[in-house]
């Protein structure tokens, strides 16, 4: 299966199953488009006429395409289906990442919060050290031969339980040597409680910090308000700037949410850049259809254009020596995941779970509060094996809709929670999200093509 | 005349022969938390060899 697209000056052909990406000229682009439907004898005169090109040149182009096909980098068949599930089978029972909900409470009252202001449709609560310690012990015990373990301090607002975050981090560090494990921590925060102590701790202990900022002040303050209804932008931006400055190049993401209020989210990204932030992520809101924040069909063309304009902005800024990172455009074509990972799905419910303040296990943070998805707890482990099996069976080939999608080996079947909310099944798909994902991949691959061209030109200049 | 420039990519068929160690990052444990994909993840094996 191939996918062809034209974006600005680029004609790009992706060979889905080999993972090959070709930047081509228009002649090759058109020949590839009809290569499988027509014969050489039909294609050559047609293209020679169309492009007013020397027939020998067209024949040469056609033969280059045939050569690529023979090498297995064009029109390659999907031979991976038998491998689906292999990785999960091999690593069955291994847990390598936990999302610790250390606080089911929040000091903001954001209108679009998927977690109902941190409460996840339940009671307000904070995680005790004992529960968190048990969760870390559960993780170590079930992590098999896996060396790097990932733990995200999440909420609600995790800094409302900062003492426990510090205690749990110290505990994890204390058992690293004896267990032969290495913990990579992430903190996801709205910024309200950031102070020098938090900054010092985060920069010392957190591999990554995810900071919630929606961009423009008026956009941010429309949703991200406190319980009195006051916007939080003015209070958090100086704290974020201080934290990032002190971070000295360590990983962080400024992460925004865009909704029906701001489908033109590139303006929000520009605000983040103006504030001096360079590691950025903007995510489409997750909410029920019909919610005022939900993205609509009318928003879709606007959003798709933002992704294209964002790629253009990244190219321009890179040329000016002012590059920035957009999370979804970070694509390592030569060093990305192997095919096993690409067909295995996201790992929620199997290698990744969320832990509530009471120690209950859920397939991921998005399912917390949905009682039927409760997997077990950190003392007894996973007891609801039926639900876990449902998640274990989630892979690219388990979703009929993915079979004809060129982007399936870049997304691995997508988000189970989005699928559940949109289609009523974790094995469904969230079509709107698919549209956005495909556009993001087209843009990300175009950026890679441009980067490789720049590098080639630089090599020639040397 | 060269009509096609093939970018450097990881050969997925080759990765089927020697892959699947499972050391890679969990897909959603980062900045997205909602719209997960795997394309932008690193292979831990390759990263260590670099």
- Looking at CA atoms only, how far is residue B36 from chain A in angstroms? 6
- All residues of chain A having their beta carbon less than 8 Å from the beta carbon of residue B3 are 24-25, 27-28, 60-61, 64
Query: If you measure CA to CA, which chain B residue comes closest to A435?
Result: B35
A258 and A284: one domain? yes
A308 and A391: one domain? yes
Whose CA is closest to A367, among A402, A415, A434, A295? A415
Is A288 within the bounds of a domain? yes
- B2-46 pLDDT, tens digit each: 899 999 888 888 888 876 787 887 766 555 665 666 777 778 776
Contact B50 A335 (CB under 8 A): yes
Q: What ipTM does the predicted assembly reach?
A: 0.87
A66 and A214: one domain? no
A216 and A302: one domain? yes
Q: For residues A194-212, b (16+ Cβ closer than 10 Å) or e, as one string?
A: beeebbebbbebbbbbbbb
Backbone phi, psi, residue A189, to 5°: -140, 150
Whose CA is closest to A166, among A383, A174, A87, A271? A174
Tell me which residue in B1, B27, B32 faces A281 most closely, judged by beta carbons.
Answer: B32
- Looking at CA atoms only, how far is residue A286 from chain B in angstroms? 7
Is A130 within the bounds of a domain? yes
Is A148 within the bounds of a domain? yes
A95 and A60: one domain? no
Which positions 75-114 of A are in contact with B (Cβ < 8 Å)?
A: 76, 79-80, 83, 86-87, 90-91, 94, 96-97, 99, 114
A132 and A64: one domain? no
A228 and A356: one domain? yes
Give the range of the structural domain holding residue A347, as residue numbers without chain letter: 90-462
State the best of A20, A337, A402, A418 to mutate against chain B, taking most chain B CBs within 10 Å: A337
Are the CB atoms for B7 and A448 separated by under 8 Å? yes
A51 and A124: one domain? no
A57 and A99: one domain? no
Which tokens go with A197?
A: 């102590």
Number of domains in chain A: 2
- All residues of chain A having their beta carbon less than 8 Å from the beta carbon of residue B17 are none
A153 and A22: one domain? no
**Which of A56, A77, A98 is where one domain is finished?**
A77
| DSSP H/E element including A3 | strand A2-7
A58 and A159: one domain? no
Is A84 within the bounds of a domain? no
Is A124 within the bounds of a domain? yes
Contact B40 A366 (CB under 8 A): no
pTM of the model: 0.94
Is A83 within the bounds of a domain? no
What is the block-wise mean pLDDT of chain A (462 residues), using blocks of 10 residues? 96 96 97 97 96 94 97 93 76 90 95 85 94 98 93 95 98 98 96 98 95 97 95 98 95 94 97 97 85 93 98 97 94 86 87 96 93 97 95 87 92 87 89 94 96 85 72
pLDDT of residue B49: 43
A369 and A411: one domain? yes
Nearest 5°: the CA angle A74, A76, A79 is 160
Is A425 within the bounds of a domain? yes
CATH classification of the domain holding A255: 3.20.20.70
pLDDT of residue B50: 36
Please name the residues in contact with A75: beta carbons below 8 A apart, sequence gap of 6 or more.
Answer: A1, A2, A15, A35, A36, A69
pLDDT of residue B34: 59
- A140-165 pLDDT, tens digit each: 999 999 999 999 999 999 999 999 99
């Amino acid at each position: 299966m191939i996918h062809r697209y034209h974006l600005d000056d680029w004609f790009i052909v992706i060979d889905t199953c080999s993972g090959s990406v070709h930047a081509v000229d228009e002649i090759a682009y058109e020949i590839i488009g009809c290569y499988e439907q027509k014969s050489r004898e039909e294609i050559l005169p047609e293209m020679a006429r169309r492009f007013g090109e020397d027939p020998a040149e067209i024949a040469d182009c056609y033969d280059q395409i045939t050569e690529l096909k023979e090498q297995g980098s064009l029109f390659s068949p999907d031979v991976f289906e038998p491998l689906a599930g292999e990785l999960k089978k091999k690593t069955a029972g291994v847990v390598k990442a936990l999302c610790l909900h250390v606080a089911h409470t929040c000091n903001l009252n954001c209108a679009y919060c998927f977690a109902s202001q941190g409460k996840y449709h339940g009671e307000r609560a904070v995680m005790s050290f004992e529960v968190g310690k048990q969760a870390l012990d559960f993780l170590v015990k079930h992590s098999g031969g896996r060396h790097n373990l990932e733990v995200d301090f999440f909420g609600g607002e995790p800094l409302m339980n900062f003492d426990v975050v510090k205690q749990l981090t110290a505990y994890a560090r204390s058992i690293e040597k004896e267990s032969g494990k290495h913990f990579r921590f992430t903190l996801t925060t709205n910024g309200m409680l950031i102070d020098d102590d938090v900054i010092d701790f985060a920069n010392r202990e957190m591999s990554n910090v995810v900071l919630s900022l929606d961009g423009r002040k008026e956009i941010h303050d429309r949703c991200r308000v406190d319980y009195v209804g006051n916007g939080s932008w003015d209070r958090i931006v100086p704290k974020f700037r201080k934290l990032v400055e002190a971070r000295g190049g360590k990983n962080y993401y400024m992460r925004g949410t865009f909704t029906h209020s701001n489908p033109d989210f590139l303006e929000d990204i520009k605000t983040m850049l103006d504030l001096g932030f360079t590691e950025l992520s903007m995510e489409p809101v997750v909410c029920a259809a019909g919610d005022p924040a939900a993205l609509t069909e009318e928003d879709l063309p606007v959003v798709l254009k933002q992704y294209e304009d964002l790629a253009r902005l990244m190219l321009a800024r890179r040329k000016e020596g002012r590059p920035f990172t957009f999370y979804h455009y970070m694509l390592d074509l030569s060093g990305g995941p192997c095919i096993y990972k690409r067909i295995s799905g996201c790992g929620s419910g199997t290698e990744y779970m969320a832990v509530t303040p009471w120690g209950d296990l859920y397939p991921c943070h998005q399912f917390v509060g949905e009682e039927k998805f409760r997997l077990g707890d950190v003392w007894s482990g996973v007891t609801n094996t039926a639900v876990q099996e449902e998640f274990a069976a989630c892979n690219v080939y388990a979703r009929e809709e993915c079979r004809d999608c060129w982007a399936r080996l870049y997304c691995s079947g997508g988000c189970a929670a989005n699928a559940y909310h949109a289609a009523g099944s974790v094995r469904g798909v969230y079509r709107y999200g698919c549209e956005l994902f495909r556009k993001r991949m087209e843009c990300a691959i175009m950026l890679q093509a441009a980067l490789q061209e720049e590098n080639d030109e630089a090599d020639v200049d040397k | 005349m060269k009509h096609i420039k093939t970018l450097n990519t990881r050969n997925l068929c080759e990765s089927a022969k020697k892959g699947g160690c499972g050391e890679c990052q969990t897909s959603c444990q980062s900045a997205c938390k909602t719209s997960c994909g795997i394309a932008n993840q690193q292979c831990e094996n390759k990263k260590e060899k670099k």
